[in-house]
Structure 1
Amino acid sequence: MAKKINADAIRERSRQRYFETGRDKVLKTRIDSLRNNAKAMAKGRRGSQRRSLFVIGETGSGKTTSIKRILALVPEWKTYRDHYGDEVTPLIRIRPPKPCGMKALAMRLLKAIKVPAPPRMTDPELYVFLEEQLRERGVKAIWIDEMQDVLRSNTPKAVQEVQDTLKTLIQIEGWPIHTIYSGVPALATFLQGDRQLARRSYVMRYEPIEYPDDEQWIEKIVQAVVCEDCGMTRADDTLTAVFRERLCRAASGAFGSLVELVQEACFRAADLGRSQVKLSDFTKVYADMVGCARGDNVFVATNWREIVPANALDDIAPPPPKRGRG
Protein backbone atom coordinates (compact mmCIF):
# COMPACT_ATOMS: atom_id res chain seq x y z
CA MET A 1 0.00 0.00 0.00
CA ALA A 2 1.41 3.39 -1.02
CA LYS A 3 2.33 5.79 1.74
CA LYS A 4 -0.16 8.64 2.05
CA ILE A 5 1.44 12.05 1.66
CA ASN A 6 0.41 14.79 4.08
CA ALA A 7 1.39 17.93 2.18
CA ASP A 8 0.35 20.30 4.97
CA ALA A 9 2.48 18.48 7.54
CA ILE A 10 5.43 18.51 5.17
CA ARG A 11 5.11 22.28 4.74
CA GLU A 12 4.91 22.82 8.49
CA ARG A 13 7.97 20.69 9.29
CA SER A 14 10.08 22.08 6.48
CA ARG A 15 9.46 25.72 7.30
CA GLN A 16 10.65 25.21 10.86
CA ARG A 17 14.13 24.37 9.58
CA TYR A 18 16.99 26.78 10.10
CA PHE A 19 20.45 26.07 8.70
CA GLU A 20 23.08 27.47 11.03
CA THR A 21 26.34 28.34 9.29
CA GLY A 22 29.62 29.95 10.22
CA ARG A 23 28.25 33.34 9.32
CA ASP A 24 25.67 33.03 12.10
CA LYS A 25 28.53 32.88 14.59
CA VAL A 26 30.13 35.93 13.00
CA LEU A 27 26.83 37.83 13.03
CA LYS A 28 26.26 36.94 16.69
CA THR A 29 29.75 38.21 17.52
CA ARG A 30 29.01 41.51 15.78
CA ILE A 31 25.67 41.92 17.58
CA ASP A 32 27.30 40.96 20.88
CA SER A 33 29.79 43.77 20.31
CA LEU A 34 26.89 46.21 20.12
CA ARG A 35 25.25 44.67 23.18
CA ASN A 36 28.40 44.81 25.30
CA ASN A 37 29.06 48.37 24.24
CA ALA A 38 25.50 49.35 25.15
CA LYS A 39 25.89 47.76 28.59
CA ALA A 40 29.21 49.52 29.21
CA MET A 41 27.79 52.91 28.22
CA ALA A 42 24.70 52.35 30.38
CA LYS A 43 27.07 51.99 33.35
CA GLY A 44 28.68 55.33 32.55
CA ARG A 45 31.74 53.99 30.79
CA ARG A 46 33.00 55.65 27.66
CA GLY A 47 32.42 52.75 25.29
CA SER A 48 33.23 52.41 21.61
CA GLN A 49 32.19 54.80 18.88
CA ARG A 50 31.17 51.81 16.77
CA ARG A 51 27.46 51.67 17.52
CA SER A 52 26.13 50.55 14.11
CA LEU A 53 26.21 47.30 12.18
CA PHE A 54 25.64 47.10 8.43
CA VAL A 55 24.67 43.64 7.14
CA ILE A 56 24.93 43.61 3.35
CA GLY A 57 23.98 40.88 0.89
CA GLU A 58 21.86 40.13 -2.14
CA THR A 59 18.13 39.49 -1.92
CA GLY A 60 17.44 35.98 -0.63
CA SER A 61 20.83 35.59 1.04
CA GLY A 62 19.26 34.99 4.46
CA LYS A 63 20.17 38.28 6.18
CA THR A 64 16.77 39.06 7.64
CA THR A 65 16.15 35.53 8.92
CA SER A 66 19.57 35.37 10.59
CA ILE A 67 19.27 38.77 12.26
CA LYS A 68 15.73 38.06 13.47
CA ARG A 69 16.81 34.74 14.97
CA ILE A 70 19.79 36.19 16.85
CA LEU A 71 17.98 39.30 18.11
CA ALA A 72 15.25 37.09 19.56
CA LEU A 73 17.89 35.67 21.91
CA VAL A 74 18.95 39.05 23.35
CA PRO A 75 17.25 39.27 26.77
CA GLU A 76 17.85 42.97 27.45
CA TRP A 77 16.23 43.95 24.15
CA LYS A 78 12.99 42.04 24.72
CA THR A 79 9.72 43.90 25.25
CA TYR A 80 8.62 44.19 28.88
CA ARG A 81 6.31 46.19 31.16
CA ASP A 82 7.71 48.76 33.57
CA HIS A 83 6.53 49.32 37.15
CA TYR A 84 3.73 51.53 35.84
CA GLY A 85 2.45 48.71 33.66
CA ASP A 86 3.48 50.48 30.46
CA GLU A 87 5.00 48.47 27.63
CA VAL A 88 8.66 49.20 26.93
CA THR A 89 10.21 48.09 23.65
CA PRO A 90 14.02 48.40 23.85
CA LEU A 91 14.44 47.10 20.28
CA ILE A 92 12.35 48.39 17.41
CA ARG A 93 12.42 47.00 13.90
CA ILE A 94 11.07 48.78 10.84
CA ARG A 95 11.17 48.67 7.08
CA PRO A 96 11.26 52.07 5.37
CA PRO A 97 8.07 53.10 3.62
CA LYS A 98 8.05 53.48 -0.16
CA PRO A 99 8.77 56.11 -1.30
CA CYS A 100 10.91 57.15 1.64
CA GLY A 101 12.61 60.37 2.60
CA MET A 102 14.11 61.39 5.91
CA LYS A 103 10.79 62.75 7.16
CA ALA A 104 8.95 59.54 6.24
CA LEU A 105 11.65 57.51 8.01
CA ALA A 106 11.27 59.55 11.20
CA MET A 107 7.50 59.11 11.09
CA ARG A 108 7.86 55.35 10.63
CA LEU A 109 10.16 55.19 13.67
CA LEU A 110 7.67 57.19 15.72
CA LYS A 111 4.89 54.85 14.63
CA ALA A 112 6.97 51.87 15.80
CA ILE A 113 7.00 53.31 19.32
CA LYS A 114 3.31 54.27 19.05
CA VAL A 115 3.87 58.01 19.14
CA PRO A 116 1.88 60.19 16.71
CA ALA A 117 3.98 62.63 14.71
CA PRO A 118 3.17 66.26 15.51
CA PRO A 119 1.79 68.21 12.54
CA ARG A 120 3.65 70.98 10.70
CA MET A 121 7.15 70.19 11.93
CA THR A 122 10.23 70.82 9.83
CA ASP A 123 12.57 67.86 9.28
CA PRO A 124 15.10 69.10 11.88
CA GLU A 125 12.32 69.70 14.42
CA LEU A 126 10.87 66.26 13.75
CA TYR A 127 14.21 64.56 14.40
CA VAL A 128 14.69 66.48 17.65
CA PHE A 129 11.24 65.24 18.70
CA LEU A 130 12.13 61.69 17.59
CA GLU A 131 15.34 61.70 19.65
CA GLU A 132 13.42 62.84 22.71
CA GLN A 133 10.81 60.11 22.27
CA LEU A 134 13.36 57.35 21.71
CA ARG A 135 15.02 58.31 24.98
CA GLU A 136 11.76 58.65 26.92
CA ARG A 137 10.42 55.34 25.59
CA GLY A 138 13.58 53.45 26.55
CA VAL A 139 14.60 52.43 23.03
CA LYS A 140 18.12 50.98 23.12
CA ALA A 141 18.45 49.49 19.63
CA ILE A 142 16.97 50.03 16.18
CA TRP A 143 16.98 47.58 13.28
CA ILE A 144 16.08 48.99 9.87
CA ASP A 145 15.66 46.24 7.28
CA GLU A 146 15.91 47.00 3.53
CA MET A 147 17.67 50.21 4.50
CA GLN A 148 18.68 50.91 0.89
CA ASP A 149 15.06 51.94 0.22
CA VAL A 150 15.71 55.15 2.16
CA LEU A 151 17.92 56.39 -0.67
CA ARG A 152 15.62 58.00 -3.21
CA SER A 153 18.47 59.04 -5.53
CA ASN A 154 22.23 58.59 -5.79
CA THR A 155 23.00 62.31 -5.80
CA PRO A 156 25.73 63.39 -3.35
CA LYS A 157 23.20 65.57 -1.53
CA ALA A 158 20.75 62.67 -1.04
CA VAL A 159 23.48 60.33 0.19
CA GLN A 160 24.83 62.98 2.58
CA GLU A 161 21.35 63.52 4.01
CA VAL A 162 21.05 59.83 4.86
CA GLN A 163 24.57 59.67 6.28
CA ASP A 164 23.90 62.63 8.57
CA THR A 165 20.66 61.05 9.80
CA LEU A 166 22.34 57.73 10.60
CA LYS A 167 25.00 59.50 12.62
CA THR A 168 22.33 61.50 14.46
CA LEU A 169 20.54 58.34 15.63
CA ILE A 170 23.62 57.06 17.45
CA GLN A 171 24.62 60.41 18.94
CA ILE A 172 21.61 61.24 21.09
CA GLU A 173 22.87 63.15 24.11
CA GLY A 174 22.78 61.00 27.23
CA TRP A 175 21.10 58.07 25.47
CA PRO A 176 23.39 55.85 23.35
CA ILE A 177 21.31 53.92 20.82
CA HIS A 178 22.85 51.09 18.78
CA THR A 179 21.62 50.43 15.25
CA ILE A 180 21.53 47.60 12.73
CA TYR A 181 20.97 48.24 9.02
CA SER A 182 20.43 45.38 6.59
CA GLY A 183 19.98 45.48 2.85
CA VAL A 184 21.29 44.73 -0.62
CA PRO A 185 24.73 45.91 -1.84
CA ALA A 186 23.37 49.39 -2.63
CA LEU A 187 23.42 49.88 1.14
CA ALA A 188 27.21 50.20 0.94
CA THR A 189 26.66 53.61 -0.67
CA PHE A 190 26.01 55.09 2.77
CA LEU A 191 29.46 54.09 4.01
CA GLN A 192 31.38 55.36 1.02
CA GLY A 193 32.96 58.77 1.34
CA ASP A 194 31.94 59.30 4.96
CA ARG A 195 34.83 58.41 7.24
CA GLN A 196 32.90 59.44 10.35
CA LEU A 197 30.08 56.98 9.69
CA ALA A 198 32.55 54.25 8.66
CA ARG A 199 34.46 54.74 11.95
CA ARG A 200 31.22 54.31 13.85
CA SER A 201 30.19 51.07 12.14
CA TYR A 202 30.84 47.38 11.77
CA VAL A 203 30.19 45.80 8.37
CA MET A 204 29.31 42.19 7.58
CA ARG A 205 28.93 40.78 4.09
CA TYR A 206 26.57 37.92 3.29
CA GLU A 207 28.54 36.35 0.48
CA PRO A 208 26.78 34.20 -2.14
CA ILE A 209 27.12 30.43 -2.30
CA GLU A 210 29.49 29.37 -5.07
CA TYR A 211 29.95 26.15 -6.96
CA PRO A 212 32.09 24.05 -6.56
CA ASP A 213 33.44 25.68 -3.38
CA ASP A 214 30.16 25.21 -1.49
CA GLU A 215 29.02 21.96 -3.12
CA GLN A 216 28.96 20.15 0.22
CA TRP A 217 26.64 22.80 1.68
CA ILE A 218 24.33 22.56 -1.32
CA GLU A 219 24.11 18.79 -0.96
CA LYS A 220 23.56 19.11 2.79
CA ILE A 221 20.63 21.49 2.24
CA VAL A 222 18.97 19.28 -0.38
CA GLN A 223 19.38 16.12 1.68
CA ALA A 224 18.17 17.74 4.90
CA VAL A 225 15.09 19.38 3.39
CA VAL A 226 14.01 16.46 1.20
CA CYS A 227 14.81 13.50 3.43
CA GLU A 228 14.87 14.79 7.01
CA ASP A 229 12.28 17.57 6.97
CA CYS A 230 9.86 16.24 4.37
CA GLY A 231 10.45 12.50 4.78
CA MET A 232 10.73 12.08 1.01
CA THR A 233 13.23 10.47 -1.34
CA ARG A 234 15.27 11.87 -4.20
CA ALA A 235 15.15 10.74 -7.81
CA ASP A 236 18.46 9.90 -9.46
CA ASP A 237 18.38 13.12 -11.49
CA THR A 238 18.69 15.14 -8.23
CA LEU A 239 21.77 13.27 -7.03
CA THR A 240 24.31 14.51 -9.57
CA ALA A 241 26.97 17.20 -9.37
CA VAL A 242 25.41 18.91 -12.40
CA PHE A 243 22.10 19.14 -10.58
CA ARG A 244 23.78 20.80 -7.60
CA GLU A 245 25.49 23.30 -9.86
CA ARG A 246 22.22 24.06 -11.67
CA LEU A 247 20.48 24.54 -8.32
CA CYS A 248 23.15 26.99 -7.18
CA ARG A 249 22.75 28.99 -10.37
CA ALA A 250 18.97 28.94 -10.18
CA ALA A 251 19.20 30.51 -6.71
CA SER A 252 21.78 33.05 -7.95
CA GLY A 253 23.98 31.84 -5.11
CA ALA A 254 21.52 33.18 -2.51
CA PHE A 255 21.42 30.86 0.52
CA GLY A 256 17.82 31.56 1.47
CA SER A 257 16.60 31.31 -2.12
CA LEU A 258 18.30 27.95 -2.52
CA VAL A 259 16.57 26.58 0.58
CA GLU A 260 13.25 27.94 -0.70
CA LEU A 261 13.70 26.27 -4.09
CA VAL A 262 14.27 22.87 -2.49
CA GLN A 263 11.31 23.30 -0.17
CA GLU A 264 8.96 24.34 -2.96
CA ALA A 265 10.06 21.39 -5.10
CA CYS A 266 9.15 19.08 -2.21
CA PHE A 267 5.79 20.80 -1.74
CA ARG A 268 4.99 20.37 -5.43
CA ALA A 269 5.76 16.64 -5.31
CA ALA A 270 3.68 16.26 -2.16
CA ASP A 271 0.74 18.13 -3.70
CA LEU A 272 0.86 15.64 -6.60
CA GLY A 273 0.78 12.74 -4.14
CA ARG A 274 4.39 11.69 -4.69
CA SER A 275 6.92 10.84 -2.01
CA GLN A 276 9.85 11.26 -4.41
CA VAL A 277 11.24 14.62 -5.58
CA LYS A 278 12.36 14.81 -9.20
CA LEU A 279 14.25 17.22 -11.42
CA SER A 280 10.92 18.06 -13.04
CA ASP A 281 9.71 19.47 -9.71
CA PHE A 282 12.63 21.87 -9.58
CA THR A 283 12.10 22.78 -13.24
CA LYS A 284 8.46 23.69 -12.69
CA VAL A 285 9.02 25.53 -9.41
CA TYR A 286 11.85 27.60 -10.89
CA ALA A 287 9.71 28.54 -13.91
CA ASP A 288 6.86 29.60 -11.63
CA MET A 289 9.21 31.72 -9.49
CA VAL A 290 11.04 33.64 -12.21
CA GLY A 291 8.61 33.39 -15.16
CA CYS A 292 11.22 32.21 -17.64
CA ALA A 293 10.59 30.62 -21.04
CA ARG A 294 11.28 26.87 -21.13
CA GLY A 295 14.40 27.38 -23.21
CA ASP A 296 15.74 29.66 -20.49
CA ASN A 297 15.08 27.32 -17.59
CA VAL A 298 18.34 26.71 -15.72
CA PHE A 299 17.34 23.12 -14.89
CA VAL A 300 16.84 21.98 -18.50
CA ALA A 301 18.49 24.49 -20.87
CA THR A 302 21.62 23.38 -22.69
CA ASN A 303 23.29 26.77 -22.23
CA TRP A 304 22.28 27.01 -18.56
CA ARG A 305 25.67 28.29 -17.39
CA GLU A 306 25.07 31.43 -19.45
CA ILE A 307 21.63 32.12 -17.96
CA VAL A 308 21.17 34.93 -15.45
CA PRO A 309 17.96 34.25 -13.48
CA ALA A 310 17.44 37.96 -12.79
CA ASN A 311 17.05 38.46 -16.57
CA ALA A 312 14.33 35.83 -16.95
CA LEU A 313 11.74 38.30 -18.28
CA ASP A 314 14.00 40.20 -20.65
CA ASP A 315 12.33 38.61 -23.68
CA ILE A 316 8.94 40.16 -22.85
CA ALA A 317 9.91 43.29 -20.92
CA PRO A 318 9.55 46.57 -22.83
CA PRO A 319 12.83 48.22 -23.86
CA PRO A 320 14.10 51.00 -21.58
CA PRO A 321 13.11 54.51 -22.68
CA LYS A 322 15.61 56.22 -24.92
CA ARG A 323 17.38 59.19 -23.45
CA GLY A 324 16.96 62.46 -25.22
CA ARG A 325 19.94 64.22 -26.60
CA GLY A 326 21.50 66.55 -24.10
Structure 2
Amino acid sequence: MGPSGAGKTTLVRNALHQHPSGLHILSEGEEQADVVSLAVPSPATPKGVGLGMLDTLGYQLRRDRSAHIIWQLVKTQFAERQVLFLHLDEAQDFARHNNRGEQHAVISTLKSLMQSPKWPVGLILSGMPDLLDLVNMDPQLARRLRPIEHRPLKTSVDGGMIVAAIRQYAAAAQIAADENLGKPDFVRRLVHAADSCFGILAEMICEAIGEVLLPGDDTLSVKAFVSCFARRSGCPNGLNPFIAENYLTINVRKLLEPEPGPDIPRRPR
Protein backbone atom coordinates (compact mmCIF):
# COMPACT_ATOMS: atom_id res chain seq x y z
CA MET A 1 0.00 0.00 0.00
CA GLY A 2 1.10 3.53 -0.68
CA PRO A 3 0.07 6.85 -2.23
CA SER A 4 -0.21 7.47 -5.95
CA GLY A 5 3.24 7.55 -7.51
CA ALA A 6 4.92 5.45 -4.83
CA GLY A 7 5.87 2.78 -7.38
CA LYS A 8 3.62 0.02 -6.01
CA THR A 9 2.85 -1.66 -9.34
CA THR A 10 6.49 -1.78 -10.42
CA LEU A 11 7.53 -3.02 -6.98
CA VAL A 12 5.04 -5.91 -7.05
CA ARG A 13 5.98 -6.93 -10.58
CA ASN A 14 9.70 -6.82 -9.81
CA ALA A 15 9.17 -8.87 -6.65
CA LEU A 16 7.32 -11.51 -8.66
CA HIS A 17 9.96 -11.58 -11.41
CA GLN A 18 12.77 -11.87 -8.86
CA HIS A 19 11.08 -14.57 -6.78
CA PRO A 20 13.39 -17.59 -6.26
CA SER A 21 10.78 -19.82 -7.92
CA GLY A 22 10.90 -17.71 -11.07
CA LEU A 23 7.21 -16.75 -11.13
CA HIS A 24 5.93 -15.93 -14.62
CA ILE A 25 3.27 -13.23 -15.14
CA LEU A 26 0.69 -13.91 -17.83
CA SER A 27 1.22 -11.89 -21.01
CA GLU A 28 -1.21 -11.33 -23.87
CA GLY A 29 -1.57 -14.40 -26.05
CA GLU A 30 -0.19 -16.83 -23.47
CA GLU A 31 -2.19 -19.77 -22.19
CA GLN A 32 -0.40 -20.55 -18.94
CA ALA A 33 1.44 -18.57 -16.25
CA ASP A 34 2.04 -18.58 -12.51
CA VAL A 35 0.55 -15.12 -11.96
CA VAL A 36 -2.42 -13.27 -13.45
CA SER A 37 -2.05 -9.51 -12.94
CA LEU A 38 -4.56 -6.81 -13.83
CA ALA A 39 -5.78 -3.42 -12.68
CA VAL A 40 -9.23 -3.47 -11.12
CA PRO A 41 -11.56 -2.55 -13.99
CA SER A 42 -14.53 -0.21 -13.90
CA PRO A 43 -17.12 -0.94 -12.66
CA ALA A 44 -15.33 -2.54 -9.71
CA THR A 45 -18.22 -4.90 -9.01
CA PRO A 46 -17.74 -8.67 -8.63
CA LYS A 47 -19.20 -9.18 -12.11
CA GLY A 48 -17.11 -6.41 -13.70
CA VAL A 49 -13.89 -7.71 -12.16
CA GLY A 50 -14.72 -11.29 -13.13
CA LEU A 51 -15.25 -10.20 -16.72
CA GLY A 52 -11.94 -8.34 -16.60
CA MET A 53 -10.17 -11.49 -15.45
CA LEU A 54 -11.69 -13.59 -18.21
CA ASP A 55 -10.64 -10.94 -20.73
CA THR A 56 -7.08 -11.00 -19.34
CA LEU A 57 -7.10 -14.77 -19.69
CA GLY A 58 -8.27 -14.44 -23.31
CA TYR A 59 -11.54 -16.24 -22.56
CA GLN A 60 -14.47 -14.82 -24.51
CA LEU A 61 -18.06 -15.18 -23.30
CA ARG A 62 -20.63 -15.88 -26.00
CA ARG A 63 -23.53 -14.45 -24.00
CA ASP A 64 -24.24 -12.53 -20.83
CA ARG A 65 -23.71 -14.46 -17.61
CA SER A 66 -24.41 -13.84 -13.95
CA ALA A 67 -21.59 -12.89 -11.57
CA HIS A 68 -21.77 -16.35 -9.98
CA ILE A 69 -21.30 -18.16 -13.31
CA ILE A 70 -18.52 -15.77 -14.34
CA TRP A 71 -16.54 -16.47 -11.18
CA GLN A 72 -17.04 -20.21 -11.56
CA LEU A 73 -15.50 -19.84 -15.02
CA VAL A 74 -12.61 -17.82 -13.54
CA LYS A 75 -11.92 -20.54 -10.98
CA THR A 76 -12.07 -23.23 -13.66
CA GLN A 77 -9.67 -21.29 -15.88
CA PHE A 78 -7.27 -20.74 -12.99
CA ALA A 79 -7.25 -24.47 -12.22
CA GLU A 80 -6.80 -25.53 -15.85
CA ARG A 81 -3.95 -23.04 -16.36
CA GLN A 82 -2.44 -23.76 -12.93
CA VAL A 83 -2.43 -20.11 -11.87
CA LEU A 84 -0.82 -19.72 -8.44
CA PHE A 85 -1.38 -16.02 -7.70
CA LEU A 86 -3.84 -13.29 -8.65
CA HIS A 87 -2.53 -9.70 -8.45
CA LEU A 88 -5.18 -6.96 -8.41
CA ASP A 89 -3.77 -3.45 -8.80
CA GLU A 90 -5.65 -0.29 -7.75
CA ALA A 91 -7.68 -2.53 -5.44
CA GLN A 92 -8.88 0.47 -3.41
CA ASP A 93 -11.46 0.97 -6.17
CA PHE A 94 -13.42 -1.93 -4.68
CA ALA A 95 -14.16 0.24 -1.65
CA ARG A 96 -14.45 3.59 -3.41
CA HIS A 97 -17.06 2.77 -6.03
CA ASN A 98 -19.25 0.16 -4.33
CA ASN A 99 -21.91 0.31 -1.65
CA ARG A 100 -21.59 -1.73 1.53
CA GLY A 101 -23.41 -4.74 0.10
CA GLU A 102 -21.21 -4.83 -3.00
CA GLN A 103 -18.09 -4.50 -0.85
CA HIS A 104 -19.09 -7.56 1.17
CA ALA A 105 -19.77 -9.41 -2.10
CA VAL A 106 -16.25 -8.54 -3.29
CA ILE A 107 -14.75 -9.81 -0.03
CA SER A 108 -16.68 -13.08 -0.25
CA THR A 109 -15.58 -13.56 -3.85
CA LEU A 110 -11.91 -12.95 -3.05
CA LYS A 111 -12.06 -15.31 -0.08
CA SER A 112 -13.65 -18.01 -2.23
CA LEU A 113 -10.63 -17.87 -4.55
CA MET A 114 -8.24 -18.41 -1.67
CA GLN A 115 -10.38 -21.15 -0.10
CA SER A 116 -11.26 -23.09 -3.25
CA PRO A 117 -10.98 -26.83 -2.45
CA LYS A 118 -10.19 -27.61 -6.09
CA TRP A 119 -7.50 -25.00 -6.78
CA PRO A 120 -6.78 -22.30 -4.16
CA VAL A 121 -5.11 -19.16 -5.50
CA GLY A 122 -2.92 -16.74 -3.54
CA LEU A 123 -4.09 -13.12 -3.52
CA ILE A 124 -1.92 -10.01 -3.93
CA LEU A 125 -3.66 -6.64 -3.57
CA SER A 126 -1.91 -3.34 -4.27
CA GLY A 127 -3.42 0.10 -3.95
CA MET A 128 -3.89 3.28 -1.97
CA PRO A 129 -3.93 3.22 1.86
CA ASP A 130 -7.75 3.18 2.03
CA LEU A 131 -7.55 -0.38 0.68
CA LEU A 132 -7.11 -1.33 4.35
CA ASP A 133 -10.70 -0.25 5.04
CA LEU A 134 -11.96 -2.95 2.69
CA VAL A 135 -9.65 -5.66 4.01
CA ASN A 136 -10.51 -4.89 7.64
CA MET A 137 -14.22 -5.35 6.95
CA ASP A 138 -13.66 -9.10 7.21
CA PRO A 139 -11.41 -10.55 9.95
CA GLN A 140 -10.91 -13.78 7.97
CA LEU A 141 -9.63 -11.92 4.91
CA ALA A 142 -7.45 -9.65 7.06
CA ARG A 143 -5.94 -12.69 8.77
CA ARG A 144 -5.00 -14.24 5.42
CA LEU A 145 -3.27 -11.12 4.11
CA ARG A 146 -0.03 -9.53 5.28
CA PRO A 147 0.00 -5.74 4.82
CA ILE A 148 3.17 -4.10 3.49
CA GLU A 149 3.28 -0.31 3.54
CA HIS A 150 5.37 1.57 1.01
CA ARG A 151 7.17 4.03 3.30
CA PRO A 152 7.91 7.57 2.11
CA LEU A 153 11.45 8.52 1.11
CA LYS A 154 13.63 10.19 3.73
CA THR A 155 16.74 12.11 2.76
CA SER A 156 18.54 11.06 5.94
CA VAL A 157 17.95 7.38 5.16
CA ASP A 158 17.70 7.23 1.36
CA GLY A 159 19.98 10.09 0.27
CA GLY A 160 22.87 7.85 -0.76
CA MET A 161 20.58 5.55 -2.74
CA ILE A 162 18.98 8.52 -4.52
CA VAL A 163 22.33 10.01 -5.56
CA ALA A 164 23.48 6.59 -6.78
CA ALA A 165 20.26 6.21 -8.78
CA ILE A 166 20.75 9.60 -10.44
CA ARG A 167 24.28 8.65 -11.48
CA GLN A 168 23.23 5.22 -12.72
CA TYR A 169 20.39 6.65 -14.82
CA ALA A 170 22.74 9.29 -16.26
CA ALA A 171 25.36 6.66 -17.07
CA ALA A 172 22.72 4.54 -18.81
CA ALA A 173 21.84 7.59 -20.94
CA GLN A 174 25.56 8.14 -21.61
CA ILE A 175 25.62 11.61 -20.10
CA ALA A 176 27.49 13.07 -17.13
CA ALA A 177 25.88 13.93 -13.79
CA ASP A 178 26.75 17.36 -12.40
CA GLU A 179 28.37 17.20 -8.95
CA ASN A 180 25.70 19.53 -7.53
CA LEU A 181 23.17 16.70 -7.89
CA GLY A 182 24.94 14.92 -5.05
CA LYS A 183 24.59 17.78 -2.58
CA PRO A 184 22.17 17.34 0.36
CA ASP A 185 20.19 20.49 -0.52
CA PHE A 186 19.40 19.21 -4.01
CA VAL A 187 18.48 15.75 -2.74
CA ARG A 188 16.08 17.28 -0.19
CA ARG A 189 14.48 19.37 -2.94
CA LEU A 190 14.16 16.33 -5.21
CA VAL A 191 12.50 14.26 -2.48
CA HIS A 192 10.03 17.07 -1.79
CA ALA A 193 9.33 17.57 -5.50
CA ALA A 194 8.52 13.86 -5.73
CA ASP A 195 6.28 14.09 -2.64
CA SER A 196 8.57 11.51 -1.01
CA CYS A 197 7.40 8.88 -3.53
CA PHE A 198 10.07 6.77 -5.20
CA GLY A 199 7.99 6.14 -8.32
CA ILE A 200 7.59 9.87 -8.99
CA LEU A 201 11.26 10.47 -8.18
CA ALA A 202 12.35 7.88 -10.75
CA GLU A 203 10.02 9.45 -13.33
CA MET A 204 11.53 12.88 -12.67
CA ILE A 205 15.07 11.60 -13.12
CA CYS A 206 14.12 10.09 -16.48
CA GLU A 207 12.26 13.21 -17.59
CA ALA A 208 15.17 15.44 -16.52
CA ILE A 209 17.48 13.28 -18.62
CA GLY A 210 15.08 13.84 -21.50
CA GLU A 211 15.47 17.60 -20.99
CA VAL A 212 19.21 17.09 -21.50
CA LEU A 213 19.06 14.75 -24.48
CA LEU A 214 16.51 16.67 -26.55
CA PRO A 215 18.76 19.70 -27.19
CA GLY A 216 21.82 17.46 -27.48
CA ASP A 217 23.50 18.44 -24.20
CA ASP A 218 25.78 16.05 -22.35
CA THR A 219 25.40 16.86 -18.63
CA LEU A 220 22.49 16.30 -16.25
CA SER A 221 22.22 19.34 -13.99
CA VAL A 222 19.83 21.09 -11.62
CA LYS A 223 18.61 23.14 -14.58
CA ALA A 224 17.21 20.00 -16.19
CA PHE A 225 15.19 19.21 -13.07
CA VAL A 226 13.88 22.78 -12.95
CA SER A 227 12.65 22.41 -16.54
CA CYS A 228 11.30 18.94 -15.85
CA PHE A 229 9.15 20.09 -12.92
CA ALA A 230 7.92 23.14 -14.81
CA ARG A 231 6.84 20.92 -17.70
CA ARG A 232 5.13 18.41 -15.38
CA SER A 233 3.25 20.93 -13.27
CA GLY A 234 2.81 24.03 -15.39
CA CYS A 235 3.82 26.09 -12.35
CA PRO A 236 5.97 29.27 -12.41
CA ASN A 237 9.49 29.47 -10.97
CA GLY A 238 8.22 30.78 -7.65
CA LEU A 239 6.47 27.44 -7.09
CA ASN A 240 9.27 25.26 -8.44
CA PRO A 241 10.82 23.35 -5.49
CA PHE A 242 14.18 23.10 -7.25
CA ILE A 243 14.72 26.88 -7.11
CA ALA A 244 12.12 28.36 -4.71
CA GLU A 245 13.51 29.58 -1.39
CA ASN A 246 10.67 28.26 0.78
CA TYR A 247 10.21 25.07 -1.23
CA LEU A 248 8.89 23.02 1.70
CA THR A 249 5.69 25.11 1.71
CA ILE A 250 4.90 24.14 -1.91
CA ASN A 251 2.15 21.59 -2.50
CA VAL A 252 3.77 19.61 -5.31
CA ARG A 253 0.57 17.68 -6.07
CA LYS A 254 -1.16 20.80 -7.42
CA LEU A 255 -0.94 21.53 -11.14
CA LEU A 256 -1.02 24.89 -12.92
CA GLU A 257 -1.09 26.80 -9.62
CA PRO A 258 -0.50 30.55 -10.08
CA GLU A 259 2.48 32.15 -8.41
CA PRO A 260 1.53 33.96 -5.18
CA GLY A 261 1.67 37.72 -5.35
CA PRO A 262 0.39 40.83 -3.56
CA ASP A 263 -3.34 41.11 -3.14
CA ILE A 264 -4.82 43.61 -5.56
CA PRO A 265 -7.75 45.54 -4.08
CA ARG A 266 -10.93 45.37 -6.07
CA ARG A 267 -12.31 48.53 -7.59
CA PRO A 268 -15.62 49.42 -5.92
CA ARG A 269 -18.66 49.07 -8.12
Aligning the two structures, in what range does the TM-score lie when normalised by the shorter sequence? Answer: 0.7 to 0.9
Percent identity (aligned):
26
Runs of 4+ in structure 1 over 6 Å off: none
Distance 1:104 1:214 in 2: 40
TM-score, with structure 2 as normaliser: 0.84
* Structure with more of its chain in strand, by fraction: 1
SS in 1 for 2:253: helix
Corresponding position of 1:306:
249
Corresponding position of 1:58:
3
TM-score, with structure 1 as normaliser: 0.70
The one-character-per-residue Cα deviations of 1:165-202 (angstroms, maximum 9, x if unpaired) are 22122111221111211122122222223211111111
The Cα of 1:315 is off from its aligned counterpart by: 5.2
The one-character-per-residue Cα deviations of 1:55-83 (angstroms, maximum 9, x if unpaired) are x1222222222222232345574389xxx
Corresponding position of 2:265:
none
| AA matched with 1:62 | G
Distance 1:275 1:260 in 2: 19
SS in 2 for 1:208: coil
What is the aligned counterpart of 1:286 among 229, 232, 239?
A: 229
Corresponding position of 1:30:
none
Unaligned runs of 5+ in 2: 260-269
Tell me if 1:87 matches 2:31: yes
Corresponding position of 1:240:
183
Corresponding position of 2:121:
177
Corresponding position of 2:24:
78
Corresponding position of 1:107:
51
The one-character-per-residue Cα deviations of 1:198-245 (angstroms, maximum 9, x if unpaired) are 11111211111023332222222223223x323333345434321111
Distance 1:177 1:157 in 2: 24
Aligned length: 255
Contact 1:101 1:152 in 2 (8 A): no
Contact 1:113 1:137 in 2 (8 A): no
Distance 2:81 2:53 in 1: 12
Corresponding position of 2:263:
none
Distance 1:236 1:69 in 2: 30
Distance 2:134 2:77 in 1: 25
Corresponding position of 1:97:
41
Unaligned runs of 5+ in 1: 1-55, 81-85, 317-326
Distance 1:65 1:268 in 2: 24
Report 1 or 2 for greater relative contact order, CA contacts < 8 Å, sequence distance ≥ 6: 1
Distance 2:177 2:69 in 1: 61
| AA matched with 1:78 | H
SS in 1 for 2:148: strand
Contact 1:269 1:281 in 2 (8 A): yes
What is the aligned counterpart of 1:140 among 84, 95, 99?
A: 84
SS in 2 for 1:274: coil
The Cα of 1:104 is off from its aligned counterpart by: 0.9
Contact 2:44 2:97 in 1 (8 A): no
What is the aligned counterpart of 1:153 among 89, 97, 115?
A: 97
Distance 1:241 1:136 in 2: 54
Change in Cα spacing, 1:193 to 1:96, as seen in structure 2 (3 Å) is closer
What is the aligned counterpart of 1:127 among 39, 46, 71?
A: 71
What is the aligned counterpart of 1:274 among 192, 201, 217?
A: 217
